[in-house]
Amino acid sequence: MTSPEQNSDFSIRFWGVRGTIACPGPKYARYGGNTSCIEVCCGDYRFILDGGTGLRPLGEKLLAAGQSLELELYLTHTHLDHIAGLPFFPPMFKPGNKIRLLCGHLHDSDEKLRDVIVRMTAAPLFPVPLEAFSAELSFVDFRSGETLQPRPGVVIRTAPLNHPNGATAYRIEFGGKSVCYVTDCEHREGGLDEPLLDFIRGTDIFIYDSTFTEDEYPKFRGWGHSTWQEGARLAEAAGVGEFVIFHHAPEHPDAVMDAIAEAAHARFARSIVAREGMVLRP
Ligand SMILES: [Zn+2]
Ligand SMILES: [Zn+2]
């Protein structure tokens, strides 16, 4: 007797790699100007990390496939660059679609995820109130640190990050491989962040908030972001497979990102600068 063929493909596709604000224009054409959004496939389970402006083109691709969608969208947090694509996500406007939004940083706050999205889509900020979205929406506030098991064989570990108003790191495990998504996050100076090191230890792909360079960082202490150099130190200490530089600053157009890519490669050979459209397989 043969068992049915299992889909064991594990892939991530970057739809938005920029931090803070979307950056259109030729200076950003090669690495991309959309804000944080990553599509993850663990076999037949497809989900999304963050709803930045990269969510809109991802939505167009998903709708083009035709059938009704059941989607889960895990947010690191609700700063605008991570949710700006939500009201423009085409699958939100199609009856029959089911979309579940999840986040972990509001568990202890008075305002829950649904309240934040209602506020974001309320007049006069946006012309279409949340009730008018045709898809069936649901909201989950888990607590950062919980482990989620959305499907058999898929484990999503979470951890709180050092960021103004909080943020959540994700470690996705499937088929003996893993991907860690760690943005937005400020490192602590004077030693590596031990809990974070434990969280990312041995992962195949480590995506990290590399908004600043070490030279720039002193001017932005307390802003909630880190450097590619800190990411390289963490990657080395945790024995990760590939280190992905992510959440590029608007002040870093393509020419600057090329220089960062070269310097990072010299520091940690398995470094990659995230680009829109890039696909990685752990
Ligand atoms: Zn951000
Ligand atoms: Zn943020």
Query: Ligand 1: distance of its center to the CA of 44 in Å?
Result: 28
Query: Ligand 1: distance of its center to the CA of 79 in Å?
Result: 6
Query: Ligand 1: distance of its center to the CA of 185 in Å?
Result: 9
Q: What pLDDT does residue 65 have?
A: 83
1, pLDDT greater than 50? no
Query: Ligand 1: distance of its center to the CA of 174 in Å?
Result: 26
Percent of the chain with pLDDT over 70: 98
Query: Ligand 2: distance of its center to the CA of 8 in Å?
Result: 33
Mean pLDDT of all residues in the chain? 96
Query: Ligand 1: distance of its center to the CA of 34 in Å?
Result: 11
Per-residue model confidence as pLDDT tens digits over 215-266: 999 999 999 999 999 999 999 999 999 999 999 999 999 999 999 999 999 9
Per the CB < 8 A criterion, the answer to whether 178 and 204 are in contact is yes
Q: Which ligand is nearest to the CA of 223?
A: 2
For residue 208, CA distances in Å to 36, 123, 148, 185, 192 come to 12, 35, 21, 8, 14
Query: Ligand 2: distance of its center to the CA of 6 in Å?
Result: 37
Query: Ligand 1: distance of its center to the CA of 82 in Å?
Result: 6
pLDDT grade for 27, boundaries at 50, 70 and 90: very high
Q: What pLDDT does residue 2 have?
A: 44
Query: Ligand 2: distance of its center to the CA of 161 in Å?
Result: 10
Q: Which ligand is nearest to the CA of 163?
A: 2
Segment 275-281 mean pLDDT: 98
Query: Ligand 2: distance of its center to the CA of 47 in Å?
Result: 21
Q: Which helix (H) or strand (E) holds 41?
A: strand 37-42
Class of domain 10-275: alpha beta
pLDDT grade for 42, boundaries at 50, 70 and 90: very high
Per the CB < 8 A criterion, the answer to whether 140 and 113 are in contact is yes
Residue that is written with structure tokens 């090191």 in the block: 197
Question: Sign of the CA dihedral 58, 120, 124, 129?
Answer: positive
